[in-house]
């Protein structure tokens, strides 16, 4: 249950957005990762500013379509397996893409990643939230606890 959008001219031909307004249907990072793999894909790895913009446009189109989409962050495939063992200075370098891609591209929100017990990454999508220090909570990345439901 998600919206699948395909583009023939990109390295990755299809993206599938799964968004659940019903909070009871949202899942943690590992569940989301498994669901993608069962579906023949992987959680999103963003490799460039252009791909980030493409995803932002897809989310904007989804919200304009009258689907009733509201606040709810999206898991992406970035995570840190070395949970809490590194110094906070080294922490940002420990994040890796779940599909093994090696893109150095990052789009962290101001003061992120905060590290500690937060090792899995979401793309913010909170259009009704008051802006923070880094502006609106839209499309930038935030590390979160892996068991949070998104």
Q: Mean pLDDT across the stretch 128-132?
A: 91
Query: In angstroms, rounded to a whole number, what is the distance separating the alpha carbons of residues 147 and 150?
Result: 9
Cβ–Cβ < 8 Å for 70, 129 = no
Ramachandran area for residue 96 (φ above 0: left; ψ -120 to 50: alpha; else beta)? beta
Listed by start position, the domains of the chain span 1-142
How is domain 1-142 classified at the architecture level of CATH?
Answer: Roll (3.10)
The predicted pLDDT at position 33 comes to 95
Query: In angstroms, rounded to a whole number, what is the distance separating the alpha carbons of residues 101 and 32?
Result: 18
Render pLDDT for 21-64 as a digit per residue (tens, 0 to 9).
Answer: 778 889 999 999 999 998 888 999 999 999 999 899 888 877 66
Predicted TM-score (pTM) of the model is 0.87
The predicted pLDDT at position 2 comes to 55
Q: Which residue has the higher pLDDT, 58 or 98?
A: 98
Cβ–Cβ < 8 Å for 100, 127 = no
Q: Mean pLDDT across the stretch 102-111?
A: 95
Render pLDDT for 116-128 as a digit per residue (tens, 0 to 9).
Answer: 899 999 999 998 8
Considering all CA atoms of the chain, what is the largest pairwise distance in Å, rounded to the nearest integer? 45
């Amino acid at each position: 249950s998600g919206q699948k959008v395909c583009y023939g001219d990109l390295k990755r031909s299809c993206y599938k957005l799964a968004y659940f307004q019903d909070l009871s249907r949202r899942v943690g990072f590992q569940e989301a990762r498994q669901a993608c793999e069962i579906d023949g894909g992987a959680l999103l790895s963003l490799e460039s500013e252009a791909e980030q913009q493409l995803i932002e446009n897809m989310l904007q189109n989804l919200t304009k379509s009258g689907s009733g989409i509201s606040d709810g962050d999206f898991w992406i495939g970035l995570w840190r397996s070395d949970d809490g063992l590194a110094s906070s200075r080294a922490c940002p370098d420990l994040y890796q893409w779940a599909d093994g891609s090696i893109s150095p591209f990052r789009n962290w929100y101001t003061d992120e990643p905060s590290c500690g017990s937060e090792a899995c990454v979401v793309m913010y999508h909170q259009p009704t939230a008051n802006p923070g220090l880094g502006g609106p909570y839209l499309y930038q990345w935030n590390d979160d606890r892996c068991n949070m439901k998104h």
